[in-house]
Structure 1
């Protein structure tokens, strides 16, 4: 069942998406809160999670302007974070760029119905609504699509990625994982039961050890495993050259907010 915006704001979001919603709704964070959310580095994760084995590759990046999503939307413009959908020139590749907001699964399903030649979906997203990600993952699986990441796919986006018939990762691209949470009173993040995410990952063939490690990462952190571990854990089926699907790219120069692939 999809999670929807409600008065209680019981959302499961990627941390970067949550920060942008806070800006859009003019919520104020204390300086200490911002430091806690944005100042976590690799050393911070190691200190916060001493239970993680030292041999597990760990990469943690600030969830601020360094986030790819920060390039897609201006501060305070929540509508601009809606995912853009673009078809490649040959009609075989669909590019999704942006947040997994309410309705994106239905939009993708409608587009695939109008363009049955699509065989692969390219994901560039730092997350969004978990319910929407699960629904979109079901659409991907139902259409037998392969999934590909050329830049970053983090948080809820990974729930879509793992439903791909084949899952390719470009050299230098990243997948980011952390545990789910709810936004509660005073915009505080609270860990929640990760059963839906755990079930989705395990059903997709990821190893139990990897799933346990991924969901143990706290919401303020992002675990970005190295490609070797991703392949060994069953997350990625193939690591490809960065330009492997260059011919499938849409006209990015013409892309604008609101210029989304639409069903006639």
Structure 2
């Protein structure tokens, strides 16, 4: 494996304390070639302005998060807008967080069926804008309120109804590391060209009270991140490796320092598999 940064990307949420201009400047300073962006801060800055800022900094956009929430609060118009924003930013990958149970419902199978239907409705529009839809499974603890798609196998079942260059999946180590079937599913996705995004975050225990913000810095937890990188390298995945951390303690620190630390941890994982804390 290599510890260079050619495939490294930092997700905007890892450095939520930085404005978009500060984030791009930090990436340029540390030689980070790519960023994963989120719709809310991008829209606040202005989509076209954000696209110009990132482009002028020489960065690429590895993904845009997020579309989805098909079962709850997001309209088809908003998901089409998400596709348009991805295209404007120059990324071909829109991450989908699919949504949990509708209010008052206990029908998990029905929620998953609705998600599949809504993705099918969105595919033609995304294809017309040359944007791929990347279905992200979230840890089962989020099934009720955020994402009824909990495993890579479930995500692939949806994706495989469409061409690989139109719908694929996200492998986020934080969400799938626990599943003994996930490595085989990840290999299947990569070999079929359906692995559209690969994200790293670690898992620590006990989880913080605000579990959503419990994604640990690389090497601080229990996930064998080096093994995941080796697995997907061997399966033929050559795309970006995006670090996405939701962590209150990291957000309280100086952003450039956090980015430098993240880069160093990534390099150690890729070189030796033994990141230093």
TM over 0.5: no
Q: TM-score, normalised by structure 2?
A: 0.34
Q: Give TM-score scaled by structure 1 length.
A: 0.35
